[in-house]
A and B are shown apart, each in its own frame.
Chain A
Amino acid sequence: MTRQGASDAARGVRPSWPIARKLTLFLAAIVALLALVSWGMVTSFAREAAGRTQDNILAASATSIAETLRSEGGQVRLELPYAAFSMLGAISEDRVFYRVAAGDDVLTGYADLEGPDVTPGEPSFGTLPYRDMNVRAVSVMRVILADGEAVPITVTLAQTRGGVRGIAAGLSRQAAYLSVAVFLLAVGMSAFAVRSSLRPLNTMAQHVSTRGPSDLRPLRRRGPPELMPLVRALNRLMDRLGGSIKRSEDFIAEAAHRVRTPLAIVRTQAEIALHSVEEEAQKQTLRRVIRAVDDSSRSASQLLDHAMVSFRADDLARERVDLPALAEGVADALRPTAEMKDIDIALAISPAEVEGDAILIQNALRNVLDNAIKYSPAETIVRVSVGNGGGEARIAVSDEGPGFGEEPAAHLMERFKRGDKVEGVVGSGLGLTIAEEALSAHGGRLELGRNVEGGGACVSLILPAA
């Protein structure tokens, strides 16, 4: 993570907040708000419901007391029904107060209890202070005929609110637990949802980053439509990049080609001059000219080869290639060069066949063999062996030269890089790069090693067998 961040910073990319975290936090905030709102609503509903329950019980109780009111011999009588009071104690342990009065004349109960104003028929409710606390009170009025006179009797019943508060608090606590649970679940789910929606983006990034360095094919992955503009922009960018690379390679090939012809003319003229001059000093100069022209010409051909390999690798031919014949052809072509240094090319051939572009493989082998000849001392042998084994075809080229030294092998295959034991030998550093590119286009590889017999280098071209 920190290494990633460091490398991003090194590239001048300062990452802003990750989308996943931002989205998750945003969703969590929304869910928290909703949970809080729903908790508040449940709490107020619970309070309301518990309050109404108490009101209903109070009203039922007061009504049942009022029902027992009767007139007996001109006297108002009543009997408090047992049920009226036992129902008040059924759901909570609240204190109970009551008062039955005819006008200001208290018949029974707590004389100082003043209920809410009431009219006959409807019970009326009120929350009012009584003694040292608040009580919920209900008043019911009933008119009794006593001695031919209508006497309005008020029954007032009051109860403390501890039970209501307890029930509401209990429900509110449960709602709180539920809200927290819903919140956690929703946050977990939104984190998951965010992650899975961002997965196409990550897979696309991975897909792009694991591509080979020269793979500039357009992205063909299916993805959510929101990502399509990015994909199209990326594809256009790669298209332009590919075009620009191709133009520069074309330019290099064109330049190399144009340089080669005049170089050939210069070489021919120099050779003619070499034969016509007598003076040793002049001959020496001309030989140096010829050698410099040769090197330039070789570099130009390698640049051409490189361009050719890049071009052909993009659209690889798939034909059967007979490796022994190919190796013989390449060896024959280079034999004149080798003979100039009295170097013998020894071939050890057994049958091997691969599938691919013969010209590319030929090119690769020629560059490797050319390198071997170039770095070999005079009067030595360069051995070329062709073989087949383990599902792989292998052409090994070993020489008796100085070898590769201690540098990592991969390093040598970079463009324009040369080993540390090549003092005095002219080279472009492109040979191994070309060979490697040609082989990897076929799914093969180049192996650099040590020649076990002669102490020089051993380069193996490995291709999947057909």
Chain B
Amino acid sequence: MRVLDLARRVIAAAALMTISGLACAQEFEIEDRRTYPGTGSATLRVISTADLDVIEPFLLRFQAANPEVGVDYVVASSSELNRAIRGGAEFDLALSSAMDLQFTLANDGFAQSYRSGVTDALPDWARWRDQLFAFTAEPAVIVINEARFSGLPLPRTRAELVTMLRDNPDRFAGSVGTYDLRVSGLGYLFATQEARSSDAYWRLTEVMGRLNARLYCCSSQMIDDVASGDLALAYNVLGSYAEQRLDEDAGLAILPLEDFANVMLRTALIPVTAIEVDAAATMLDALLREGMGQGTAEPVLPPLQTRGEADQLPFGPIRLGPALMVYLDRLNRESFLEAWNAAMVQQ
């Protein structure tokens, strides 16, 4: 199943699928697309970063409750999603894990306001200007292959992790994986937020660079490699994806660290170009109800309540606000990536 998923992704990337019908001003790459016809004439066009196999149960539940609404679900990377909405592509709902990009979309006027009883019930930190709504809270975690750690005490903080990696270069050389910040928007978001709150990040990056860390575009591929034993440790993996894999792959474990955890909020917005606004609102309400744990079934993604657990850690979810624009700034991004490059790609 995983292999199939990977294969599909590779094919999608290779084929560089473009939807010229949807994109008016600018073309953008999509990774996957599935259409669920409804009994009525309305078709809700959703663009999202969430993989189909993750979100499909929700879509089916939505269709069962609203059989007249057809759904056209398009999967794209967060930067392509951002490009599509900015280019004026006609979508009715945009769901993305890149909080910062979603925030700038709303800030720059690409989202329309929406209020309902459900959005009013959202906690303040989970919405911005009635335009941007968080419906999941997903932590960044460290995934390890337990076999590769045998005989070593598991580190409890980043400082201990740095020490352990530094002291065992033979064991971990080429066996540590993390996001390639130049490619992954989510990896960049996690990295910048972490660098902001702890200098341990830079020391860790340096150590990983010395160990010839392998760089990835996506969480699922990192998890695949940890499961297969190619990697001993994957740093800053999306917790929601990792949790789903724990049951399937023996030997896979999440390394709990006590110092802090970054929690990302997956957000939704209704673009100004939306046509089926009512249907989009219905789906948004359904998403938010699931996000608040009021859904009828087991939510497909971690609901916002997990923030409560995150609260007990010294670091809460990343805040929705203008500060998210800081690291997206061209100059800031350049200098951050420069520093990261210097640390990670030393040789």
| B side interface size, CB within 8 A | 19
Known contacts: A85-B322, A89-B323. The answer to whether A109 contacts B107 by CB under 8 A is: no
State A86–B197 Cα separation when bound (angstroms). Answer: 14
Interchain CB contact (< 8 A) of A85 among B109, B325, B330: B325
| Residues of B close to A162: CB separation below 8 A | 129
A25 contacts chain B at the CB level, 8 A cutoff? no
By DSSP majority rule, is chain A's interface helix, strand, loop, or mixed? mixed
B319 adjacent to A89 (CB under 8 Å): yes
CB 8 Å contact bits of B230-243 with A (1 = contact, 0 = none) = 00000000000000
B322 adjacent to A96 (CB under 8 Å): yes
B321 adjacent to A80 (CB under 8 Å): no
B129 adjacent to A93 (CB under 8 Å): yes
B282 contacts chain A at the CB level, 8 A cutoff? no
B335 adjacent to A93 (CB under 8 Å): no
B331 contacts chain A at the CB level, 8 A cutoff? yes
B329 contacts chain A at the CB level, 8 A cutoff? yes
User: Smallest distance from the beta carbon of A232 to chain B beta carbons, Å?
Assistant: 72
State A131–B329 Cα separation when bound (angstroms). Answer: 20
A88 adjacent to B331 (CB under 8 Å): no
B331 adjacent to A77 (CB under 8 Å): yes
User: Smallest distance from the beta carbon of A306 to chain B beta carbons, Å?
Assistant: 91
State A85–B323 Cα separation when bound (angstroms). Answer: 5
**Which residue of chain A has the shortest Cβ distance to B335 in the bound complex?**
A79
| Residues of A close to B321: CB separation below 8 A | 85-86, 88-90, 93
| Residues of A close to B129: CB separation below 8 A | 93, 95, 162
| Residues of A close to B331: CB separation below 8 A | 77-80, 100, 107-108
User: Smallest distance from the beta carbon of B272 to chain A beta carbons, Å?
Assistant: 10
B202 contacts chain A at the CB level, 8 A cutoff? no
A93 adjacent to B128 (CB under 8 Å): yes
User: Smallest distance from the beta carbon of A79 to chain B beta carbons, Å?
Assistant: 6
B332 contacts chain A at the CB level, 8 A cutoff? yes
Interface residues of B in 195-253 (CB under 8 A from A): 196
State A85–B129 Cα separation when bound (angstroms). Answer: 16
B154 contacts chain A at the CB level, 8 A cutoff? no
Q: Tally of A-B residue pairs with Cβ under 8 A? A: 55
Interface centre among B128, B129, B329, B335 (most CB of A within 10 A): B329
B323 adjacent to A86 (CB under 8 Å): yes
A280 contacts chain B at the CB level, 8 A cutoff? no
A407 contacts chain B at the CB level, 8 A cutoff? no
User: Smallest distance from the beta carbon of B344 to chain A beta carbons, Å?
Assistant: 19
A82 contacts chain B at the CB level, 8 A cutoff? yes
| Residues of A close to B325: CB separation below 8 A | 80, 85, 96, 98
User: Smallest distance from the beta carbon of B104 to chain A beta carbons, Å?
Assistant: 10
B196 adjacent to A109 (CB under 8 Å): no
A95 adjacent to B109 (CB under 8 Å): yes
| Residues of B close to A98: CB separation below 8 A | 325
State A100–B325 Cα separation when bound (angstroms). Answer: 14
Known contacts: A79-B335, A109-B329. The answer to whether A131 contacts B109 by CB under 8 A is: yes
| Residues of B close to A406: CB separation below 8 A | none
A88 adjacent to B322 (CB under 8 Å): yes
B109 adjacent to A82 (CB under 8 Å): no
A86 adjacent to B109 (CB under 8 Å): no
**Which residue of chain B has the shortest Cβ distance to A86 in the bound complex?**
B323
User: Smallest distance from the beta carbon of A211 to chain B beta carbons, Å?
Assistant: 72
CB 8 Å contact bits of A37-61 with B (1 = contact, 0 = none) = 0000000000000000000000000
By DSSP majority rule, is chain B's interface helix, strand, loop, or mixed? helix
| Residues of A close to B118: CB separation below 8 A | none
State A81–B327 Cα separation when bound (angstroms). Answer: 9
State A332–B128 Cα separation when bound (angstroms). Answer: 115
B329 adjacent to A108 (CB under 8 Å): yes
B326 contacts chain A at the CB level, 8 A cutoff? yes
State A86–B320 Cα separation when bound (angstroms). Answer: 10
| Residues of A close to B128: CB separation below 8 A | 93
A79 adjacent to B332 (CB under 8 Å): yes
A132 contacts chain B at the CB level, 8 A cutoff? yes
User: Smallest distance from the beta carbon of A95 to chain B beta carbons, Å?
Assistant: 5
Interface residues of B in 128-153 (CB under 8 A from A): 128-129
| Residues of B close to A86: CB separation below 8 A | 319, 321-323
State A346–B212 Cα separation when bound (angstroms). Answer: 148
**Which residue of chain B has the shortest Cβ distance to A96 in the bound complex?**
B322
| Residues of B close to A77: CB separation below 8 A | 331, 335
A82 adjacent to B322 (CB under 8 Å): no
Known contacts: A95-B107, A95-B129. The answer to whether A89 contacts B322 by CB under 8 A is: yes
CB 8 Å contact bits of A95-126 with B (1 = contact, 0 = none) = 11110100000011100000000000000000
User: Smallest distance from the beta carbon of A75 to chain B beta carbons, Å?
Assistant: 10
User: Smallest distance from the beta carbon of A296 to chain B beta carbons, Å?
Assistant: 104
| Residues of A close to B319: CB separation below 8 A | 86, 89
User: Smallest distance from the beta carbon of A427 to chain B beta carbons, Å?
Assistant: 96
B323 adjacent to A82 (CB under 8 Å): yes
State A107–B335 Cα separation when bound (angstroms). Answer: 14
| Residues of B close to A132: CB separation below 8 A | 109
A80 adjacent to B332 (CB under 8 Å): yes
State A86–B100 Cα separation when bound (angstroms). Answer: 13
State A108–B335 Cα separation when bound (angstroms). Answer: 13
A96 adjacent to B107 (CB under 8 Å): yes
State A108–B330 Cα separation when bound (angstroms). Answer: 6
State A89–B335 Cα separation when bound (angstroms). Answer: 24
**Which residue of chain B has the shortest Cβ distance to A109 in the bound complex?**
B329
State A230–B324 Cα separation when bound (angstroms). Answer: 81
User: Smallest distance from the beta carbon of A89 to chain B beta carbons, Å?
Assistant: 3
State A61–B107 Cα separation when bound (angstroms). Answer: 18
CB 8 Å contact bits of A425-465 with B (1 = contact, 0 = none) = 00000000000000000000000000000000000000000
| Residues of B close to A88: CB separation below 8 A | 321-322
User: Smallest distance from the beta carbon of A381 to chain B beta carbons, Å?
Assistant: 103
| Residues of B close to A80: CB separation below 8 A | 325-326, 329, 331-332
**Which residue of chain B has the shortest Cβ distance to A61 in the bound complex?**
B322
CB 8 Å contact bits of B303-322 with A (1 = contact, 0 = none) = 00000000000000001011
State A78–B331 Cα separation when bound (angstroms). Answer: 7
State A98–B104 Cα separation when bound (angstroms). Answer: 12
| Residues of B close to A108: CB separation below 8 A | 329-331
| Residues of A close to B108: CB separation below 8 A | 95
**Which residue of chain B has the shortest Cβ distance to A83 in the bound complex?**
B323
| Residues of A close to B332: CB separation below 8 A | 79-80
12 contacts between A and B (CB under 8 A): A79-B331, A79-B335, A81-B326, A85-B322, A85-B325, A85-B326, A89-B322, A93-B129, A95-B108, A95-B129, A96-B322, A107-B331
Give 10 closest A-B pairs by Cβ, nearest first. Answer: A89-B321, A86-B323, A96-B322, A85-B323, A85-B322, A89-B322, A93-B129, A108-B331, A88-B322, A80-B326
Residues of B within 8 A of A (CB): 106-109, 128-129, 196, 319, 321-326, 329-332, 335
5 further A-B contacts with Cβ under 8 Å, apart from A86-B323, A107-B331, are A80-B325, A84-B326, A88-B321, A88-B322, A95-B108
